Structure 1
Amino acid sequence: MPSATRPLRSPTARPPSFVWTRRIVLTLLTLFAVTPLYVMVSSSLKPLEGVTGSFRWIPSELTVQPYLDIWETVPLGRYFTNSLIVAGAATVCSVIIAVFAAYAVSRYRFRGRRTFTITVLSTQMFPGILFLLPLFLIFVNLGNLTGIALYGSRGGLILTYMTFTLPLSIWMLVGYFDSLPRDLDEAAQVDGCGPLGALFRVVVPAATPGIVAVTIYSFMTAWGEVLFASVMTNDATRTLSIGLQGYANQTEVYWNQVMAASLVVSLPIVAGFLLLQRYLVAGLTAGAVK
């Protein structure tokens, strides 16, 4: 009698134990990531007495009043405007300067090029608190000598944020520009474009994913920065990251409003990331892949 043959298993098939282990691990990781978000959302929909005691996973009472009170307890609208202006201006200035600097480093060979690139990268080796006191003294002394108020102003905070968003933006764009073939520049110059024409008409459109990645990085860094904003701002120029402290006073903390305000101020970052995530992934990986 012919011997029974066993069905051949695909070489890429996984054993059932591996599949279930992966499902369990992914489920635990999902719960680990979703649980804090659930706590924030549920706490923001509770009255104050519902969040001061022990935490209840199933709220007994839900209300949207905390989302209405966050604008009255502290001037959240002014803080939101300050953060939007400072983060937006710092991002735009950093990206524009980084595009020119990275293009020059990537396409041209000049004396001091290696020293410049090493210096730009070395700034990321030092903690930000190391530059806090020098920047504070520089701003105060410049204000005393020239009358230009940098300390406590939006302009001073924009310059402060550019000191740590610009170097890494240049470094990221240098790697992305290096991944683009130089034939693009040469073809544009043959067609009559100068260096700037080749940059804006050919290189910048081709480098859109990298520029978007740098833009997202710069904006997220400036939007959530706390250390420099706590020292370089006053009541008129305070940003969201510092303004959230206003929901706590000497007697109690409005935890429901803190959670509601945290969710509200996170919406611009989440929305921007979801809309531009494909450019972000492409921009961060293109230099390594190519």
Structure 2
Amino acid sequence: MIETRGFRILRVFGLAFITLIIVLPLYVVITTSIKPLKDVRGAFEWIPSEFTLAPYLDIWTTVPLGKYFANSMIVTISATILSVSIAILAAYALSRFDFRGARSFRLIVLSTQMFPGILFLLPLFLIFTQLERAVGLQLNGSYLGLIVTYMTFSLPFSIWMLTGFFASMPKELEEAAMVDGLGRLGALVKVVLPVARPGIIAVSVYCFITSWSEVLFASVLTNKDTRTLSIGLQAYASQTDVYWNQMMAASVVVSIPVLAGFLFAQRHLVAGLSSGAVK
């Protein structure tokens, strides 16, 4: 199909419009974060008349942002490591071994993505409460409860993606390694995992982002000691005032780990996602 001049112009305007929708909120966030509070409360200015970096310094004292940051790092990194580790073993088994119920298990894993997360909020809270009463295991308001919750939600998609990625890899790689003396586990660690690095990185980024930005379960399953960043940002809005410039500055700071993860994994991300979707 030959593109006409009018179609090319229409496509350019369409892409420009989509770009504007994406960039405009980011511009508002960044410019608001460098405005004094008096300018934020007044009429909105597209170009700030006064610039200040004070909000980026005050965000650490207005609320305990450093503590929330540490809590988010502990929960997110732990949930990501556990999810990816379990997903690797499960996906490898599903892609390499033919056992009864394998197809049904794949469908069950995929079907869990059909249900909204809020549907599991009350059941998880009740399960955690019953476990605390029965065996004394503290899950509500603890790191462990939030880690288990985030791992539960990211694990099905991780298994599905890595299963497709492992299935697209030739079995001859492992067979050659086992002929040379490696066992099944040794072939997985020394041969399969290095080749599957793009898919593993893609899944790791997905798990990290899913846990880092989650709000609903963190608002219920945490307390003042385990509160994460997504909930801590709400502390900039008190009953008497809202520190909009600090809230925007904190939002910029909170987005840095996610942005750094994308930049680090950029060359692996597209390859991993596309390869995992082949099967």
User: Is the structural similarity TM-score above 0.5?
Assistant: yes
Equivalenced residue count is 279
Tell me the residue number matched to 2:205: 216
1:4 match: none
Map of 1:158 onto structure 2: 147
Q: Unaligned 5+ residue runs, structure 1? A: 1-10
Aligned to 1:243: 232
Letter of the structure 1 residue corresponding to residue 88 of structure 2? V
Structure 2 unmatched runs, 5+? none
Letter in 2 for 1:115: S
Kept in 1: contact 2:146–2:221 (CA 8 A):
yes
**Counterpart Cα distance in 2 of 1:106 and 1:280:** 21
For the pair shown, which has the larger CA radius of gyration, 1 or 2? 1
Is 1:43 the counterpart of 2:37? The answer is no
TM-aligned CA deviation for residue 69 of structure 1: 0.7
1:289 deviates by 5.2
Inter-partner Cα distance in structure 2 for 1:172 and 1:188: 24
Match of 2:249 among 242, 251, 260: 260
Cα offset for 1:114? Answer: 1.8
Provide the C-alpha distance between the structure 2 equivalents of 1:145 and 1:22, rounded to a whole number of angstroms: 61
Determine which of 110, 126, 137 is the counterpart of 1:121.
110
Instruction: Provide the secondary structure at the position in 1 that maps to 2:140.
Output: coil
Call closer, same or farther: CA 1:135–1:15 in 2, change over 3 Å: closer
1:147 is matched with which residue?
Answer: 136
Q: Shift of the alpha carbon at 1:31?
A: 2.0
Q: TM-score, normalised by structure 2?
A: 0.96
Work out the CA distance in 1 between the residues paired with 2:114 and 2:12: 39
Give runs of aligned pairs for residues 60-209 of structure 1, distance below 5 A. Answer: 60-209=49-198
RMSD over aligned Cα atoms: 1.5
Q: Distance in 1 between matches of 2:206 and 2:106?
A: 19
Say if 1:223 and 1:257 are closer, same or farther in 2 by CA, change over 3 A: same
Q: Is the 8 A contact 2:79 2:147 kept in 1?
A: yes
Could you say which residue in structure 1 is the equivalent of 2:42? Answer: 53
Change in 2 beyond 3 A, CA 1:221/1:115: same
Q: CA deviation at 1:28?
A: 2.4
